[in-house]
Structure 1
Amino acid sequence: MKELAGRLTALDPDAGAAVRVIAYFDRLAESRAGVEALVRGAAVLAGCPARLVDPERRVHVRVEADGTRRDEKAPPDPAWPFARLSPDSAAVLWLERGAGDAGPPARNGVDAGYARAVPENADAQHTQVAPSVVDAVILERAAGAVRLVLDRTRGRAPADDPALVETLLDATAPEQARLHAARRLGLDLAAHARALAPLHGRPLVIPADAGPVPRAGYASAEGTGRPGTGLTSPAAVRTAPGPRGGAEELPPAARPATPVPTAPRPRTGSTAFPGGPDRHAANLHPAPPALRLPAGRLGVGPAVPVLELPRSWAGARTALRFTAEDTPQDPGPSVVHADELGGIALLADLVAPGSEPPDDVRALETAAATAPWLPATLHAVASTSSLRAAAAEINVHHSTLQERLAHAEHLLGWPVRTPQGRLRLQLALTMRRLARP
């Protein structure tokens, strides 16, 4: 698709941009993006605010061109380009582009040619803005993706549809819709639950008393240290697609002809449910004490009342950014609990995914490129109580560790064996994880 878009751009920039838009929304749909993430994608790609109005489902989402959610009560202007979610639906997706802001002019004589029905509340005296080719594609693809999400999550899904969990985790869903989803999943509304965010998988919701969620260590650089997580069995709790509207999914503001950012793509596959054929039984009853979770990186949200699960989901996604791959080149905990981060969680707001890494992170990456043992060694120093404990952690002699640290300090440009240098090292290792795309 990328090669095709490049070839089309050489012939017609509008056609190349349209192909990129199609590929972008296809990836969002595959990753089970939520309503707000889809509207945000439309706004950023179009370079103007986008608004979704669905009076039947009481859904009103408005996102500025810079990706900021900012709802307004003023009715849409009938002159704006728009697309209905379906021919007989009152739900409409708008691009707030007026007659004086019709976007880039059509190139090479290309005409939008986009047939649309006029909204019922349209004033005949208003002149409809003809959308550009790119605007027309954005509206069509975004409206189709939003329709699928709303049909799946706003009280129209069957009782065994895992998308009910997505409704629970969606802060934009009405409270009544989330209560309805919780009841159909059999969750105790008087009890607490928590959300879990796997890196490659669907969101999980478990009762707070389902048993302790395992913490994770890391494997040593030499491969002979203590094992890592060992979480290799299938999930024993119900999974469901969830909203993917986090900061890591926001495309940068750019003209439509620029390359469209890549949306995350989860792994697919079935989930095993021990104990019987009931497809959602694990959400109805507490899990056994030895809670089995998907292998890999996992963020654990705080235990909250059922109606506050969107907050737990936000915390779980933040915690996921602090996790590591648990490998010699990316050592660290593969399971992180949001309620144990404390003030360190504020770093997630300062270091955006895929942003230019801070100087100390760049120094770490440069040093790691010349010394493959360095990441695991520095993580051991930063996460243990003494240098002897760090040496035992990575299974090397104390004197060998001292030699390594002397070399590491030369490569980094700051000491790591002083209290201040150790704190600086801990922050650098943390920001290294947060800066990942």
Structure 2
Amino acid sequence: MKEQVLFLFNHLLFILVILFIYQFWLDRKQRTEKEKKVMLFVYTSICVLFSMTFTVPLTDEFIVDLRQIPLLIGVLYGGIQTAIPLAILTLGYRFMLGGVGIVGAISMCISIIIISLIFSKRYLTWNIRKKVIWSMFLALYASSLILAIFIILSSDKGFLENGLPHKDIIYIFSVFVLFHVAGTGVVTYAFEKINSIIKMKQRIVQTEKIELISHLAASISHEVRNPLTVSRGFMQLMLDDVSMEKKNEYVSISIKELDRAEQIISDYLTFAKPLEDRKETFDVQQECKRVIEVIRPLANMHAVEITSQLSSAYIKGNRQSFQQCLLNITKNGIEAIEDGGVLHIEIQLKKDSVTLLIIDSGKGMSDQQIKRLGEPYFTTKGAKGTGLGMMVSFSIIHSMNGFIQVKSEPGAGTRFEVTLPLINEKLE
């Protein structure tokens, strides 16, 4: 008995491992609803085929597997679009295996299709507690149905009259039914918990972006006001009795200043718009230049000089996410400089990678602070910071298959080294 229960636990562990892989795939980037349902079908199909291939005999007449757990997960979260192909796959494989159990398989597949029609849409709107309870109830219904069919078939074949002990019926019920009910509850809970963590992470990224934009808005509004003031001044001078040559000069200067204001606003709006879920090859140099222009108004407010040493280097990833990462790091560097200083940005090329250096002359950090950098809600800014910006930045670079190294000493500034895989743009 212990060996059989251990085998069933291994089946459940396999289902959970594949679930974590599926959720990890979801977490890598934003997915469309179609992509999610296709991958949900793939996940549940793998689990169903594994369970049906490696069955566990409870008695000489009764062989069990845990296919109902992934079937219910696929039906409840994927709806009828997942339920029908999953039922077809299950029945097709069951026909290949043969045996009298095909009657139970047909009954179960019909049941899960009915369940998907009745519950799937409402199920997704429920809270986690209600989802777990209902999934366990449906697992109890499905497993009891199969057990009832087995008992009926056993009676017709004379199994019960010819030696299938009553204790075996109790044993089958306790292991088969209860294991399915408990296993379904565990998998559903894990599914929901991981989903909630992924959604929370996405909300944090968006919240941090909004907070960053609000900080930039104050400095950019000041920067836009300067060219508008200059243009207004020259327009007033044009009202005086000046030569046509002077008027043309004033008009030319005013137009240049207005173009500069327009460029500042355009750059700001680029960062303010929602993140697009798209990977592309882009030049780090161009993105650094754009970030420098956007962050310059904030640097001017803090009396910080921005220097750079940039060279062309191509990487692959989400352009807007990369811009947000650079903005987070450079903004932190500027705010760490209290009485004026320098923020230096440099690109270093290696054989297979590109390293972006962001060095500030601010107050620096201790070794203990560096170790905690990137943790949620850890910040060196006191009440002004949340720590989410660096957490988002680390996550973005990690999603681009890169890493961040931080070197700092109290009073000696901070050095960020962002290393990413180098892409040959000629091959893209």
Q: TM-score, normalised by structure 1?
A: 0.29
Question: Greater Rg, structure 1 or structure 2?
Answer: 2
Greater per-residue helix proportion: 2
Alignment TM-score, normalising by the size of structure 2: 0.29
Q: Identify the structure with bigger relative contact order (alpha carbons < 8 Å, sequence gap 6+).
A: 1
